[in-house]
């Protein structure tokens, strides 16, 4: 039976939800100038300067000492864009790390299963060897006792009596000698 990949579905859902979250952050920073100026305006200006310097470098043009300033609205928009992309990248990176860790744990489980299977097989082989040794020793014991060998799997140990024979009570004083014999039942007496 094939299991439905719930983890992959959850990661896809998180990825799809991260885009609206990033958009909400962009809208929030644009509507609230206090947070927008703190979070986004500086990041937008730095992004603008780095982008212009990279473009000039790729075109092979000389780098000016001072870059032209960017308007406050454009700086807020660029900063909000950067913040949204950082959120998307963070969620995507977290998903990738979780997926790699999950795959690694699956691989560890497979290795552990193989190790357990190898140990189980080793124990089964050892059990077979011990059973062969036990059969060999029982055969030698029977040969010494002079009894015919029993078929495999049949218990040949002597049967124990159903009820144990009564024991004589131990003498409280060992110097008195052995305890008196118990009387025999009437059917076992010699007449």
pLDDT at 59 over 80: yes
Q: Which residue has the higher pLDDT, 145 or 179?
A: 145
Given a cut of 80, whether residue 158 has pLDDT beyond it is no
pLDDT at 24 (0 to 100):
83
Q: How many residues does the chain have?
A: 191
Q: Which two tokens stand for residue 66?
A: 């001072």
Confidence grade of residue 180 (pLDDT, cut at 50, 70, 90): low
Please give the residue that has the higher pLDDT: either 99 or 70: 70
pLDDT at site 134: 93
| Calpha distance 48→70 (Å, rounded) | 7
What number is the average pLDDT over the span 170-190? 55
Query: Hey, what are 27's tokens?
Result: 């809208």
Q: List Cβ neighbours of 67 (8 Å cut-off, separation of 6 or more).
A: 48, 49, 52, 53
pLDDT at residue 191 tops 50: no
CA nearest to 131, candidates 104, 158, 153:
153
Q: Across all residues in the chain, what is the average pLDDT?
A: 75
Highest mean pLDDT pick, 14-18, 36-40, 75-79: 75-79
pLDDT digits (tens, 9 = 90+) for 16-36: 777 787 778 777 877 777 777
Which long-range CB contacts under 8 A does 59-68 form with residues at least 24 apart? none
The structural domains of the chain, with segments of one domain joined by +, span 6-111
């Amino acid at each position: 039976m094939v299991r439905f990949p719930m983890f992959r579905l959850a990661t896809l859902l998180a990825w799809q939800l991260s885009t609206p979250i990033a958009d909400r952050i962009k809208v929030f920073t644009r509507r609230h100038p206090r947070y927008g100026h703190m979070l986004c305006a500086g990041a937008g200006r730095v992004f603008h300067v780095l982008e212009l310097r990279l473009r000039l470098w790729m075109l092979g043009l000389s780098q000016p000492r001072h870059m032209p300033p960017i308007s406050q609205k454009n700086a807020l928009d660029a900063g909000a864009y950067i913040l949204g992309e950082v959120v998307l990248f963070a969620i995507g990176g977290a998903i990738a790390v979780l997926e790699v860790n999950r795959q690694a744990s699956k691989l560890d489980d497979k290795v552990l299963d193989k190790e357990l299977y190898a140990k189980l097989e080793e124990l089964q082989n050892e059990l077979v060897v011990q059973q062969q040794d036990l059969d060999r020793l029982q055969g030698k014991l029977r040969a010494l006792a002079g009894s015919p060998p029993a078929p495999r799997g049949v218990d040949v140990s002597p049967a124990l009596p159903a009820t144990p024979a009564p024991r004589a009570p131990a003498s409280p004083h060992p110097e008195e000698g052995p305890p008196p014999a118990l009387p025999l039942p009437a059917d076992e007496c010699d007449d």
